[in-house]
Structures are given as C-alpha cells and as structure tokens.
Homo-oligomer: A and B are copies of this chain.
Amino acid sequence: MKQLIIASTSTVHGSGYLEYLMPTLIEFFKESKEILFIPYARPGGISYDAYTDIAKKAFGKAGISVKGIHEFDNPQKAVKEAKGIFTGGGNTFELVNQLYQHNLIEVLQQTLENGTPYLGTSAGSNICGVTMMNTNDMPIVYPPSFNTLAMIPFNINAHYLDPNPDSTHMGETRETRIKEFHVFNKTSVLGLREGSWLEVVGEEILLKGPHTARLFRQDKTPVELTTESTIRNFLA
C-alpha cells in the first residue's frame, strides 16, 4: 500500500531545511532507519555529494541515516531494497532526465506501490503526478518524456503562488499557465502552497499543513480545498 508525503517545498521562509516537516517525517520514517536520497534534481547545479550532505544533516538530528543513490553501483537495486526514499527539489527536467537515464521510472513505481515510504519535496513531488507538465522549472535539459510516476491521479504545481494584484509584470500568472495546460490536457492540477503537503495512504490523499490548496480541473472553475480535505472527493 502506497505511503507518500508529497510536499510543496523543503523549506518554508525563516526556517531550516525540512524543519517544518520533521515531526511528521520522524513518525513517517520510524521504521526506515536509513533513507535512500535521490539528489538528481541538483538545485543550483549542486553536486550529488553536497546535496546528499544537506539531507544527511537534516535527518541526522532525528537519528535517521541517509545514503545518496549515486553511492550505489546499481541504482535500481538501491531503490528496490530501500527502507525509505526521499527525492529532493531542484530542476524537474534534470530529475526526470536522470530517472529515465537510469531506468528508474518503473522500478520506482513498483517500489512505491509495494509500500516503501516516499517523501518528495518540490521537484521530488512533481514526479508523483501523471506528468511533469506543471513544473515551474526552466527546461535546461531535454528529458526523453514528460511522463512521471503517476502515483496520484493528478499533477502537482509546487510552490503555488496566487496572482499579485500589485504586479506590473506582463508575464503569465500561475493560474493562467495552468489554464493553458488545460487547453491541451485533461489531467487535474493541484496548486500546493509552500508549507502544504499531501499525505497519501493507498488511494487516500489528504491535504495537510496550514494552507488551502487550489484545484484546477479542465472546464471547471478552480476550487480552494481546505486543509484535511480528501482530494479524491473533488476529482470526480
């Protein structure tokens, strides 16, 4: 049975890396002892080692050890045998590119379906959706496909931002971009604000954290879901 935490961001303003989530994560990973970290999204182009160290430090305080997937000879085997998995944020295009290069899409799908606890933040959350088509990231590399893990039956827009009524900038708002997406695609999109996360247990998907989340469905008016909502009830 799937067990996932799908978080909008690793870090909320004014707080340390994963700090706001750590009480939840200690409970979530209580039987994991060691977590496999997937650093492929490389925020700012940071090295896999340096990125893994950040995750090690955050989890170390809670007595949970972390090992980077790049430290294993066989990344597929590392995923299959992991007691817990964490995919960090960064660039979603590069993350998805590396998952395909290492033939990890199917093995991740099977492993998560089998119940290995999985934490995603930002790009690591985007890949839980049907496609990565609602990422905010820049297309700095060309992945072989935009299809992702489809662990949930909709897409994630992480770091969701409301339109700023004072802005004089002519670039599209996040809502406009998602509406454009729905001209070409049917998949629903959940705009997850920073500090919000989804708790997935089997087919149940619960919104957690202090904020509402904005759900966009093709040809329907967007709705705000309150925290503790079961997302499934709104998808039909």
Interface set of A (CB-CB < 8 Å, partner B)? 9-14, 42-45, 90-91, 93-94, 132-142, 145-146, 159, 161, 168-172, 176-185, 194
A-B contact pairs, 7 of them (CB 8 A): A44-B180, A136-B171, A138-B178, A138-B180, A140-B180, A159-B171, A170-B194
Residues B138 and A181 in contact, CB atoms below 8 Å apart = yes
Specify which chain B residues have a CB less than 8 angstroms from the CB of A90 in the assembled complex: 180
Contact of B94 with A168 in the complex, beta carbons under 8 Å: no
Complex Cα–Cα for A12 and B169 (A):
8
* Chain B residues positioned under 8 Å from A43 (CB to CB): 172, 180
Given known A-B contacts A12-B170, A170-B13, A91 and B180 have beta carbons under 8 A apart? yes
A16 CB to nearest chain B CB (Å): 12
Within the assembled complex, what's the spacing in Å between the Cα atoms of A139 and B181? 8
List B contacts of A137 (CB < 8 A): 172, 177
Query: Which B residue sits closest to A94, measured CB to CB?
Result: B184
The reply to whether B170 and A140 form a contact with Cβ atoms under 8 Å apart is: no
Do B142 and A185 have beta carbons less than 8 Å apart? no
Q: Which residues of B contact A176 (CB under 8 A)?
A: 44
Q: CB < 8 Å: which of B42, B94, B145, B184 contacts A141?
A: B184
What 9 new A-B contacts, CB under 8 Å, besides A42-B180, A136-B138? A11-B170, A14-B168, A45-B183, A90-B180, A133-B139, A134-B138, A140-B180, A140-B185, A170-B194
Q: Which residue of B lies closest to A45 (CB)?
A: B183
Tell me, in angstroms, the Cα distance from A51 to B14 when the chains sit together. 44
In the complex the two chains form, what is the Cα distance from A133 to B91 in whole Å?
12
- Shortest Cβ distance from residue A205 to the other chain B in the assembled complex, whole angstroms: 23
Residues of B within 8 Å of A185, CB to CB, are 140
Given contacts A13-B168, A43-B172, contact A132 B138 (CB under 8 A): no
